[in-house]
Amino acid sequence: MTSHVNAPSSGSAPRPVSPASAGPLPKEYGVTRLVILPRDPRWIHAYWEVAPYTWDEARKQFGDMLKQGRSVLRVHSSRSGKSGFFDVDVRVDARNWYVHSPEPDGDWHAELGLVLPDGRFVLLAISNRIRLPAGQVSDITDERWGVLQADWERLFELSGGGRLGAGSLDVVKILAQRWELLRNVSSASLIPTSPGGASWGRMPSLKKEKGFWLVADTEVIVYGATEPDASLTFQGHPVALNPDGTFSFRFSLPDGEQVFPIHATHRDGDLSRSIEFRVTRRSHKSE
C-alpha cells in the first residue's frame, strides 16, 4: 500500500525562494521534489528536497508511526518489457545520494519515501524518468560516413601519413589504430570516490571483499582494402566500400570461436578473392 503526500493540503505549493543576486545559494527552496540524473551506465545521482508541508501532511495521515519508518529510495527500472524495483536505504537529511544500478540500459525513475513497520510505503516525492546508457559496443555496423571536401594531401600529412607507404591498407590500418586509441581513452570510466557532502548507495552486483575489484573485456577490429569498384561481402552480407576501397568493422568478442569470412569480386565478375579469420576467446576468472 502506498500513500502519496507530495503535495500541500491547500492544493498549491509555495513558490520557490529566488536566490539573491550575491552570496551563496539558499539551502532550501520550499518545494518538495526529487531529481535523478544518469552519471554513466551503472550510476545514478539523485538529489531532493522535502518541504515542511509534505512532512505535515504525512504526520496527519500516519502520526507517530512515521517516526518508525525507514527512509529509502525506491528505484524502478523497465528493460525489454520487464519491470522491477529495489530499495536503497538513505538519510533524508543527506539531500543527495549515488545509486549503483545492478545493470545498465533501460528506463528508470525513483521514489523517495518511508517504509513503515507494517510494510506500507509512504511516498514523499517521485522523480523524473531517465534512460541509462547501454554500456557496451553498438551492434550497428552499417554507418555511412560523409565525404569531407578538404585538402586531402594536407590532412594526410598532418595525420602522420608521410611516414607511410603508398598503399591504402597501410593508411587505414594506422588510422584505425589511432581511432581506437582515442575511443578507449575517452570512454574510460572509473567508479569515483565519494564527493564531499554526498553518500553512496549499495552496490548489489559488486563484491566488497577488501574493496577490490576488476572488470575487463575485449573487442575485435577487422579492416582491409580492395579495388574501389569491387563487390565485397562480410559474413555473407554486402558491404559498401569507402571511396578508396577501404573498409573496417568493430565487434564485441564473446567467449567461443568467431568466424569472419570476407569475399571480394571483381566488377566484371570473373575474378574473386577470399580471406577468412577465425578468432577464439577463452575467459578465465580467478577470485
pTM for this entry = 0.45
HSE-up of residue 56 (Cα within 13 Å, Cβ side)? 8
> 104-123 pLDDT, tens per residue?
888 999 999 999 999 999 99
Rg (CA), the chain: 28
Distance CA 126, CA 54 (A): 13
**Selected residue with higher pLDDT from 106 and 193:** 106
Spell out the domains of the chain, with CATH numbers in brackets: 2-131 (2.60.40.10), 152-188+198-281 (no CATH)
Distance CA 57, CA 10 (A): 10
Helices assigned H by DSSP within 118-162: 152-158
Angle (CA) 127-84-200 rounded to 5° is: 55
Residue 128 pLDDT: 95
Residue 155 pLDDT: 59
Q: Is-contact 272 278, C-beta < 8 A?
A: no
Q: What is the dihedral of CA 246, 258, 189, 44, to 10 degrees?
A: 120
- DSSP H helix total and E strand total for the chain: 3, 15
Which residue shows C-alpha cell 544500478?
101
